[in-house]
Amino acid sequence: MNRFCYVLFLLCFPIHLYSQPLTVDVCIYGGTSAGVIAAYSAKKSGKSVVLIEPGRHLGGMSSGGLGATDIGNKRAITGLSRNFYKRIGRHYGKPEQWTFEPHVAEAVFNQYVREANVPIWYSYQLASVKTVNQRIEEISVESASANKSAPNRVIRAKQFIDCSYEGDLMAKSGVEFTVGRESATQYNEPLNGVQFRDKHQFPDGVDPYVMPGKPESGMIWGIGTATLAPNGTADQTVQAYNFRLCLTDNPANRIPITRPGDYDSTKYELLLRQIAKKMPKELTWNLMHFVMMPNRKTDINNCGGFSTDMIGANYDYPNASYARRAEIIREHEQYTKGLFYFIGHDPRMPKHLRDEMLQWGYPKDEYTDNKNFSPQLYIREGRRLVGEYVMTQANCEGKVVVPDSIGMAAYTMDSHNCQRLVVKDANGVAHVRNEGDVQVGGFPPYPVSYRALIPKRGSIQNLLVPVCLSASHIAYGSIRMEPVFMVLGQSAAQAACLAIDSQKSVQDIDVLKLQQLIKSQNKQQAN
């Protein structure tokens, strides 16, 4: 073969391969923590598997900066999920570890897929779904990279598992789903719908107008135009997203936080007004929620009225196009980088806060292919399946206990704020207020229904949804934790395997047999 023919062969051969549909037993969309565990579990059970991840990294939020694990109760974390935290522990020389660095978590997820020899398609996103006779027959995926160089690829499978945070496979398959908050009356949930409360709230007297006291001057950046509805009212708002920031104060590993390219200091006027009404003693636990990770790193979360949550900027995200989602992610990234720069450098900020902020920077050894900033936006809630069973506040509180448990949840019913708006007091004076933050706990671990992972009977018969599962807004706020997603990912994988072996729909498998299988595996896999 001459050189020209050989080069032509190399160029054409991959395209030829891509043009042929891939046929597997189980196709998993989304390389989140749940996706990795589902893929590992199904492959170890003898099924052929492919894992499709639109990005370049595995682990979702667990490797994306959320190193301060939202546990709730360790008794709820079983099987491969518990095994994950034990593997993290082995890295740090401990029996198990619940706080960790992002790159360590990603290394553990990569370890799982290597051990099971799971094929992964990185940088592919869902293009279309073909259904026949209430079953997903095949899906087509397209390149998620900027240059769109790779051709579309087709996957056929007996069972599909949607492990994405967005629920794209679920939505494109045509099953019923919802976005936003149900009314308090729909499922008899006092904590659902609009919730005007005092958590992560502004102090009294923060004026919303560009020129204080003058509505005609317009509102400063970051305040919505909605009118506060009565508590319990349904709406389409989505709890705020943010980046869980990994910073370090180790000078040897620290990259300074510099001015972003499209920096706009007016976006942080509300922070100055908040501080003017209530001066914080320090940055940590006042303006931001700092939790220390190993090796002098952080997991930083939202704290207070104005912080890392970009309230109201994510309403489009759940149903948006890929291009619009990329814009929203970019907006959140620029907001966050700008916020850190503003705190550390704007002369209007109190000096003690500026000095404290300047101690922190981006770690040189994290996210090295993304300029040391997390590529994973925290999608706290997007679409939610409306399935055979809807988990509600009553389940969280133990007032209703399902018989078909395939995992336990335990965390507080936790919703971040959904709106920032103007509320007038009894004297007609306008104040900036946040709305939607709910943090109600105090209950023991509770079972999650298998039926919450499957579409309604009469709908798609070969799809499981362990991440965007069927739950009300407020119940989802308790279930939506990374350890639980891994538990449900493993359970979904075993349900898929059982459906294949029994040649039944996911709605008709023997749930008792599934429970026994999961229980048996949990004993083996916890170490």
Per-residue model confidence as pLDDT tens digits over 428-459: 999 999 999 999 999 999 999 999 999 999 99
Boundary of a domain, candidates 378, 399, 424: 378
Contacts of 251 (CB under 8 A, 6+ apart): none
Encode pLDDT of 365-424 as tens digits. Answer: 999 999 999 999 999 999 999 999 999 999 999 999 999 999 999 999 999 999 999 999
Q: Which residues pair with 173 in a beta bridge?
A: none
> What's the rounded Cα separation, in Å, for the pair 279 and 272?
10
* Residue at a domain's end among 378, 397, 427: 378
CB–CB of 161/149 below 8 Å? no
365 in a domain, yes or no?
Answer: yes
Assess whether 338 and 476 both reside in one domain. no
Query: What confidence tier does 11 reach under pLDDT thresholds 50, 70, 90?
Result: very low
Q: Which residues pair with 141 in a beta bridge?
A: 126, 153
pLDDT of residue 38: 98
Whole-number pLDDT of residue 526: 62
Q: Which amino acid is at 32?
A: T
How does residue 225 score in pLDDT terms, banded at 50, 70 and 90? very high
Are 125 and 193 members of one domain? no
pLDDT grade for 283, boundaries at 50, 70 and 90: confident
Domain residues for the domain of 189 are: 183-378
Please give the structure tokens belonging to residue 450. 């298998």
Whether residues 269 and 165 share a domain: the answer is no
Last residue of a domain, one of 352, 378, 404: 378
Query: What does DSSP assign to residue 337?
Result: H
Tell me how far apart the alpha carbons of residues 124 and 55 are, in angstroms, rounded to a whole number.
7
High-pLDDT (> 90) share of the chain, %? 91
Distances 220 to 37, 158, 208, 260 between C-alpha atoms, Å: 45, 53, 6, 21
**26 and 108 assigned to the same domain:** yes
> Within a domain: residue 387?
no
Read off the pLDDT of residues 88-121 as tens digits, 9 standing for 90 and up. Answer: 999 999 999 999 999 999 999 999 999 999 999 9
Biggest distance spanned by C-alpha atoms of the chain: 88
Cβ atoms of residues 341 and 257 within 8 Å:
yes
Asked if 210 and 358 sit in the same domain, the reply is yes
Are both 153 and 93 inside the same structural domain?
A: yes
Predicted TM-score (pTM) of this structure? 0.95
Q: Which two tokens stand for residue 104?
A: 């360590």
Q: How many domains does the chain have?
A: 2
| Residue 200 near residue 302 (C-beta atoms within 8 A) | yes
Contact assessment for residue 279 and residue 273, using Cβ atoms and an 8 Å cutoff: no
- Does one domain contain both 83 and 110? yes
**Is 417 a member of any domain?**
no
